Amino acid sequence: MPGRLAGRVALITGAASGIGRESALLFAREGAKVVVADLDGKAGERVVAEIAAAGGEAIALRCDVARGEDLRAAVAAAERRFGALHVLFNNAGIFPAQDGSPVDTPEEVFDQVMLVNLKGVFLGCKHGIPALLRAGGGSIINTASFVAVLGAATSQVAYTASKGGVLAMTREIAVEYARQGIRANALCPGPVNTPLLAELLAKPEARARRFAHIPMGRLAEAPEIARAALFLASDESSYVNGTTFLVDGGISGAYVTPE
């Protein structure tokens, strides 16, 4: 049986680790040819090697999503190597440790988070949408966050603001391009079990405060978010457009009395 992405070409940013890596591996298993774009080129090559070992096709590109030229080159490489682009997964993002309250967050940290998390998605769409149109349409998946729809348990003003911007931008793109065969959805994960978050939750009080808000009592695992991305990339979601696709373990549906 052919995979759910058979015959498709997918470009994934931030694809060398975490959600991006798991999505690249899963998309390839489902038949997609994958462009693994990441700031860490060597780690991207390792993901490509994993895909090749499993019988899939992929290429790795060093890509800084804060640079429009890097994203333009990534899209061009997808079309040059594989003939088209059908799925654009703008997944790359950062969450600096210095991101806190509006009073405490350094201005340069706020600017950097906006540059990568928000402008990086804009640049991906700027250069990716023309390729999707040339392919006759496709799916855009932009990684936002559950904090785009409700406040975080701990201060992270730059990250939260950037993801709110991704959510709003995704809706606008969805409306603008729907009749041209392009769907755009915002994937909004809850907290995911990654090395970065593990570091942020190293203090028992921070961990307790976060976990009090998670009805399932655990963090998401990256493969769980990748499976949600696969749904949005595939024809199974053919009438899903402009959504706030929450994969948060019930956080946004819960009520917890603040400590």
Residues 6+ apart with CB under 8 A from 56: 28, 29, 32, 33, 34
**DSSP at 61:** E
Task: Determine the Cα angle at 50 with ends 48 and 55, to 5°.
Answer: 95
Asked if residue 120 lies in contact with residue 92, where contact means CB atoms within 8 angstroms, the answer is yes
The neighbouring-strand residues paired with 186 are 142, 244
Distance CA(143)–CA(121), nearest Å, equals 9
92: CB partners within 8 A, 6+ apart: 13, 14, 20, 37, 38, 39, 63, 65, 116, 120, 143
The one catalytic residue among 159, 177, 239, 255? 159
Residue 239 is among the residues annotated as catalytic for this protein: no
Asked if 15 and 37 touch (Cβ cutoff 8 Å), the reply is yes
What number of other Cβ atoms are within 10 A of residue 105's Cβ? 20
Cβ contacts of 202 within 8 Å, gap of 6 or more: none
H or E element that contains 247? strand 244-247
How far, in Å, CA of 229 to CA of 110, rounded?
Answer: 27
- Residues known to be catalytic: 159
